[in-house]
Each structure stands twice: as structure tokens, then as C-alpha cells.
Structure 1
Amino acid sequence: MRFLSTRIHGVIDYLWGVALIASPWLFGFGDVPAATWVAIVFGAGAMLYSAVTAYELGLLKILPMPMHLILDGLGGIVLAASPFLFGFADRVLWPHVLFGLFSVAACLVTHREPMLATGRREPA
């Protein structure tokens, strides 16, 4: 069931990216280099592909929204698995898992097409 508008998803994208980048210092794992860099790279990457997404908050409107949602889902899976993939699960686990699962959930509940000025969705 898709109930989240692409406009709200866009706001969440940028807030999520900033929060993920800040998470090493907010949650006290700034002294774990692998965990810190994963958070920074994934947060910056998400904000970058959000800026080029063809939705209300995109700046360049190049990347189709369905591809953006695929990136959110795949990136979320990798982010959630990153503590195990990069060997820091013994020191930092939950921030990466929760941010990753949130990204997966967001991709599953967001509309695939942005609203037109007429208030209707673009045809798929």
C-alpha cells in the first residue's frame, strides 16, 4: 500500500541524509572509522541522488522516481547489513540497521510518480 507522497518523501530524503551524516556524533560512534564513513557516504549519497530525482524536491530532475525508490530499497538493505559487512557490528549496530530499515520501508510506501500541478499523478 503506497500512501506517502513524493513531496513528503523528498523532505524525508534530505532530513534522513543529514541525520545519517550526523549520527556518528549524535549516537557516540564517531571513534569507529568504518561506521562513521558508512554513515557519511550513505547520507551524502542519498542526498545527492535526491537532488537529481524527478520529483517535487529534485533540483535537476534526471533520475525517475521508480529508480530513486529502487536505490532507497537496495541502499537500505546494504546500510542495514553494513555493520556485518564491514565488521563493526560488535561496536555499532542499531543506528545503521534502523536507518537502513527505515529506507526500505520508505521505498515500499511511497507513490511511484510525483503529483502534477493539476493534482493528478503522472501516468506510469
Structure 2
Amino acid sequence: MKSFIPTTTYAVLNYVIALLLISTLWTFDTLHIGGAALFLPLIIGWLQLIMAIFANNKLGFLKVFPMSMHNVNDVIMGSFLMCSPWVYDFHSKIWIPQVLFGGALFIMGIFTQGSPLINKEHTLQQGGITSTDSL
């Protein structure tokens, strides 16, 4: 498959989804539910906002985190957010925002141009000490 999300569109969508996740407290009224339904979208939204600010793309302010790391984190957080209503057993009260926003993060992480999950030419750099360096 080919990646179809440009990095500029990805950057805009990342800010939008981060702010929407933070605002789920009020827009979907999860204050009365509490627990994981309240805190998971809030925490993942703030993490997404921090990652967007530090991302190495056109709309990133500090350009510290490489886009490949950001894409992998999106896939992990998106899949975790999609499964959370059933893992934490609040699916009978609310599950639509977690599945929608989690699915959006998952798809954005995989299908953004330059993502290491679909493009074989863009892989994460190896680092650290190799086994022969320690001798």
C-alpha cells in the first residue's frame, strides 16, 4: 500500500485530534462516567499535543522528535485508545469517541508519508553500543 497523507496534513490533523481528545470531557460529557473514560482521552490528547509541538515537521515548533517516532507512537496510542472501552469496561456507557479518535490516530500513524510502518526505505536508525564495541 502507498501512504496517502502528506506530512503537512498530518501535522494539522494531529493538532485537531489532540484538541478534540482534550475536549471530550465536555463535548461527550464523560465527567459523570469518570475513571478511564475520563482520563484516557485527556492523557492521550495531551501526549499528542506535546508530540505535535516537538515533531520534526512543518508545524512542529521545536523539531526534536523524528516523524518516524511520532508515527509509531500514534499507532500505539490509537490502538490502545480503540481498545480501552472494552479493556476498562465502560463500553456500555460510551465508546464512540474512543474508537473514532483511536482509529484516526492509527490510520494517520500508518499512512502518513515517510511512516516506517508502511515504507521500507524509511526505517528507524540504529543506535547505541553494538556487541563488538563493548570488547
TM-score, normalized by length of structure 1? 0.85
Kindly provide the CA deviation profile for residues 51-105 of structure 1, in whole angstroms up to 9, marking residues without a partner as x: 1111111111111101100000110000001112222112111110111011111
2:53 equivalent among 38, 51, 54: 51
- Structure 2 partner of 1:61: 63
> What is the alpha-carbon distance in structure 1 between the residues aligned to residue 18 and residue 26 of structure 2?
14
- Structure 2 partner of 1:100: 102
How far apart are residue 28 of structure 1 and its match?
A: 2.5
- Structure 2 partner of 1:14: 15
- Structure 2 partner of 1:31: 32
> What is the alpha-carbon distance in structure 2 between the residues aligned to residue 103 and residue 110 of structure 1?
11
> What is the alpha-carbon distance in structure 2 between the residues aligned to residue 6 and residue 102 of structure 1?
15
AA aligned opposite 1:107: G
- Name the structure with the higher helix share: 1
Identity over aligned pairs, percent: 26
Q: Which moved more, 1:11-20 or 1:79-88?
A: 79-88
RMSD: 1.6
How far apart are residue 24 of structure 1 and its match?
A: 2.7
**Structure whose CA Rg is larger:** 2
| Equivalences, count | 115
How far apart are residue 36 of structure 1 and its match?
A: 1.4
TM-score, normalized by length of structure 2? 0.79
Kindly provide the CA deviation profile for residues 29-66 of structure 1, in whole angstroms up to 9, marking residues without a partner as x: 22111211111101111010111111111111111101
> What is the alpha-carbon distance in structure 2 between the residues aligned to residue 13 and residue 59 of structure 1?
13
> What is the alpha-carbon distance in structure 2 between the residues aligned to residue 85 and residue 56 of structure 1?
36
> What is the alpha-carbon distance in structure 2 between the residues aligned to residue 22 and residue 54 of structure 1?
25
- Structure 1 partner of 2:6: 5
- Structure 1 partner of 2:85: 83
> What is the alpha-carbon distance in structure 2 between the residues aligned to residue 29 and residue 40 of structure 1?
11
